[in-house]
Structures are given as C-alpha cells and as structure tokens.
Amino acid sequence: MRRFSSRLWRVYHTRSSTDRCILSFYNNLKSRHLVQEQTIRQAISFSGVGLHSGAAVKMRILPAPAGSGITFRRSDLDNFDIEAVGRNVAKVSYATSLMRRGVLISTTEHVLSALMGAGIDNVSIELDQLEVPILDGSARPFLEAIQRVGIKRQRRPRTYWRVLKPVEVRDGQKFLGVYPAERYSISYTIDFPHPIGIQSYDLDLAGDIYAREIAPARTFGFLRDERALRNMGLIRGASEENAIVLTDTGVKNGPLRFGDEFVRHKILDLIGDLALLGHRILGKVVANRAGHAMHTAVVSRLLRDRSLWEEAQIAREHDDVPETATAEPSPAVLHR
C-alpha cells in the first residue's frame, strides 16, 4: 500500500510539473506575439542650451529595464530621480516642467514626444541642469539619435490604456477631448494671429508617420513678444537656430519645413505631454487651440478616474518586425 501511494504521488506530481511547463511555454509563446516594451540599445549623448533658462546642458539617454518607464535624473543633484508621470507636473506655461521634492526638470515635451514616436517605453534621461536641451527646436535630433543606436525589444508585453468614455476639457474657445477608439489618432486645430492663422492637421500614429510628418516640426514664437518673455525669465536660450521666428509680415528665418509646421509642432507637444500618462493610449484625441495646460489637465483626469480606461495589450500583425524607430503597430487583436 505504501509502495502504491508513493507511485501515485510521483505520477500526480510529474503530471503537474508537465502541465506547468506546458502553461509556461504557452504564456511565453503568447507574450512573444504581443507588442512588447522597448528600450534603446546603447546610451545617447546630447549637449545644447535650455530654451528658457539659456543654461548649457549635457544630457544622456540610457537603456532601462522592462517595466521601469521613463525617468529623468539630475546628475548634478546626486542623481535625483523624477519619474515622467502626471503626478509630478509642476508648471505648464510655455513648456511642461516636472518637480519632485523641490527638484525641477523643465521643457520635457520634445524628448518625451520623440520617445513615444520611436516606440520607447523604458529609459533613464540624465541631465546636469534643470532644462532639457532645445537642440533645433523639434524632436528630430532625438529621434535620429535613437534610430542610429537602434531599439531593443524587451520580454514584457506593453500595456496600453484603451479609452472607454469621452474625456473633455474646455476653457472658452479652447478645447481638448479624448474619445474611445481602437487606435491612437490626433486631430488638432490652431488659430494664431497673422501670419499663421488657422491650421488643422489629422493623423493616425502608425508606422513611420511620426518620424516623417511630426518630429521635424519646430517650436515657434513672435518677435514682438520677445522682450516681454525675456523679462519674465523665459526664452533666454532662444535663437533663430532653434525656433521659427515670426514677424508681423512673415517668417524671419525661413524656409519652413512644412507649410503647416505650426500645427504639426503642437501635435508634437501634445504627444510629449500625453506621455506623462505612463502608457500609450488607444483613443482619438481632438484639440482646438489647446496647449500644455490643457494637455496636462486631460492627463490628470485620466489618472484620477480609473473608470475612463482599461488596460489592453495588442497582438503584433507580423512577428518579423525589425527593431527600428517606429510609432505604433496596427492593433490587430486586443487582449484585456
């Protein structure tokens, strides 16, 4: 009887072990067919000046483990970390700034936009100053550097936030809404004085559209506002090399990269600000005359109300997708 019980124990536990192996294999196979998190293959270095502070800054973007997200690190302040998430938003006038325990990181939107456009989930961004370098005023230098070093796919499925209910923020004629959809798409309208006027742009963030149509668009400003902004301690690093300068009659330092470069840059900013959700969204974003304050207000709403979204994972359409800088794959299947 004792011998029979021993054999039964061995058979039961052998089968349990086999079942566990099969389940583990199935889960690994399933996860390989989902869109996975990504980081960069090696560190990237930049140097330049802050748009508003005018301070010289050196910055590095480094690979980070799966699940760690995007973190800013002040190397001049004992490597103090500030997570790129909505709860750390501090200022939103003329740029988006993050703060934790009194430590500031300013003008985060361009580098965060480039990381979203490249499909990067996990990096550490080291700076020796309080402001991200403005470079040429667009996201293109960041994106091109990511493309040069390459992207590393990580062994963790990416979790998206699929919008379930409309989220709207209004302020007079300004408006920003996010609506349920199976893809991340944006429709943006701006209305500025001459020579910009009204511009609109719609795009679906798939494939290399971000790299081609949005990343090169530069920040801009009116020459007539320069003195007032400098008196406020702003745009001390601005120049014709890192911003489009507008006069009452036209563009002072043309040519433009696109005829509608201004609205495209607003989309670039929006993508960077929505990165502060800590997740990419599946939803339709509609904006009219919005800006950093409204972008981050929507981030706060989504973070506060868990009923507005659900977590989702996307199945890759092709298993042989090269690890290059792209925006979003087509969401063929969603797994909750």
Q: Provide the pLDDT for residue 42.
A: 98
Contact assessment for residue 157 and residue 31, using Cβ atoms and an 8 Å cutoff: yes
**DSSP code string of 1-45:** -HHHHHHHHHHHHHHHHHHHHHHHHHHHHHHHTB-EEEEESS-EE
**pLDDT per residue as tens digits for the range 160-190:** 999 999 999 999 999 999 999 999 999 999 9
Q: Provide the pLDDT for residue 332.
A: 42
Residue 7 in domain: no
Residue 24 in domain: no
Q: Provide the pLDDT for residue 333.
A: 39
Tell me the C-alpha distance between 295 and 273, whole Å.
6
Number of neighbouring beta carbons within 10 Å of residue 117: 28
Residue 5 in domain: no
Residue 188 in domain: yes
Q: What share of the chain is helix, strand, coil (3-state, %, to 5)?
A: 30, 35, 35
- Pick from 70, 9, 2: which is nearest to 39 by CA? 70
What is the SS3 string spanning 251-276? ECCCCCCCCCHHHHHHHHHHHHHHHH
Contact assessment for residue 63 and residue 152, using Cβ atoms and an 8 Å cutoff: yes
- Confidence category of residue 328, pLDDT binned at 50, 70, 90: low
Phi then psi dihedrals of residue 56, to 5 deg: -65, 140
- What is the domain range of residue 266? 36-335
- Is the confidence at residue 326, as pLDDT, over 80? no
Can you give the C-alpha Rg of the chain in angstroms? 23
**Cβ-Cβ contacts under 8 Å for 249 (sequence gap 6 or more):** 195
Residue 18 in domain: no
Number of neighbouring beta carbons within 10 Å of residue 171: 13
Q: Provide the pLDDT for residue 22.
A: 41
Residue 250 in domain: yes
Q: Which amino acid is at 84?
A: A
Q: Provide the pLDDT for residue 9.
A: 41
Tell me the C-alpha distance between 75 and 42, whole Å.
18
Active site residue 292: yes
Contact assessment for residue 72 and residue 127, using Cβ atoms and an 8 Å cutoff: yes
**Cβ-Cβ contacts under 8 Å for 202 (sequence gap 6 or more):** 185, 186, 187, 188
- Pick from 174, 193, 138: which is nearest to 292 by CA? 174
The vertex-53 CA angle with 113 and 128, nearest 5°, equals: 70
**pLDDT per residue as tens digits for the range 40-76:** 999 999 999 999 999 999 999 999 999 999 999 999 9
Point out the catalytic residue in the list 110, 265, 292, 295: 292
- Is the confidence at residue 281, as pLDDT, over 80? yes
Give the percent of the chain with pLDDT over 90.
82
**pLDDT per residue as tens digits for the range 67-103:** 999 999 999 999 999 999 999 999 888 999 999 999 9
Residue 111 in domain: yes
**pLDDT per residue as tens digits for the range 190-247:** 999 999 999 999 999 988 999 999 999 999 999 999 999 999 999 999 999 999 999 9
* CATH number for position 127: 3.30.1700.10
Work out whether strand 123-127 and strand 70-74 pair parallel, antiparallel, or are unpaired.
Answer: parallel
Three-class secondary structure of residue 189 per DSSP: strand
Three-class secondary structure of residue 83 per DSSP: strand
Total domains, the chain: 1
- Is the confidence at residue 1, as pLDDT, over 80? no
Residue 28 in domain: no
